[in-house]
Amino acid sequence: MADATTTTADRRRPGGRSARVRAQVLDAVRAELTENGHEGLTVEGVATRAGVHRTTVYRRWRDVGGLLVDVIDAAGEIDWQPPDTGSLRGDLTALNEEIQESLLVRPSLALALMAASFHSEQAARAQTRLWDERYAQCEIVVERAVERGELPARHTDARSLLVAATAPVYHHLVLQRAEPDPRLPERSAVAAVRAAAAGAFSAD
């Protein structure tokens, strides 16, 4: 992935020209995506907006699919931490509120990336990896709940619990396209906590 136009000195230095070019290009991809959707995304448009030569973009990212994958991968690189409120219910509610906000902000990059991944197999695979990473990062929320004695010590499949808690928020806003429901983040969190307490996500 090193840019062939990058000098050796730049390559040695993290955060050098190569990193700067990537940041500029990915910012441009995000802006183009949220303004025009993935149908409006072109290597030329991205290069112009980023102020870099289009051959730089072609060389490093090859095509629109490559740009989409890198912008999704970059989302996985940010230093995100799941909420830590002191209770499972509080953590899952805060997580759902964060999700709801990312889907309601206009333009929504999260929505644009989901839409794009319907049309690019490469982007879809990158999205799957990003979901996996995010849910893996969230498992600490379940581990802390077990430590606090809020859940039985074993036999809770963290991923199933996290998906049950969060899926209704995505379902409501992304698929059903329903009016936002300010109570949904908490209701969905509470339902998952109760199901978990009743042993619904047993790992076996």
CA 8 to chain centre: 33
- 90 part of the interface to a second copy, by CB under 8 A: no
Smallest separation, CB 191 to a second copy (Å): 4
φ and ψ at 4, to 5 degrees? Answer: -65, -20
Q: With CB under 8 A as the rule, give the number of residues binding a second copy.
A: 39
By CB under 8 A, name the one of 33, 92, 111, 141 that touches a second copy.
111
- The pattern of x and - marking residues 113 through 142 that bind a second copy according to CB under 8 A reads -xx-xxx----xx-xx--x-----------
Please enumerate in sequence order all residues whose Cβ is within 8 A of that of 31, keeping only pairs 6 or more positions apart, or say none: 49
Cβ-contact 130, 75 below 8 angstroms: yes
Smallest separation, CB 80 to a second copy (Å): 17
- As a whole number of angstroms, the distance between CA 103 and CA 90 comes to 20
Binding segment for a second copy among 53-61, 70-78, 137-145, 164-172 (CB under 8 A)?
A: 164-172
In 10 A of CB 105, how many CB atoms? Answer: 12
> What secondary structure letter does DSSP report for 201?
T
- As a whole number of angstroms, the distance between CA 29 and CA 71 comes to 7
Smallest separation, CB 38 to a second copy (Å): 9
Instruction: Provide the binding-site residues for a second copy, judged by CB under 8 A.
Output: 37, 39, 111, 114-115, 117-119, 124-125, 127-128, 131, 160, 163-164, 166-168, 170-172, 174-178, 187-188, 190-192, 194-195, 197-201
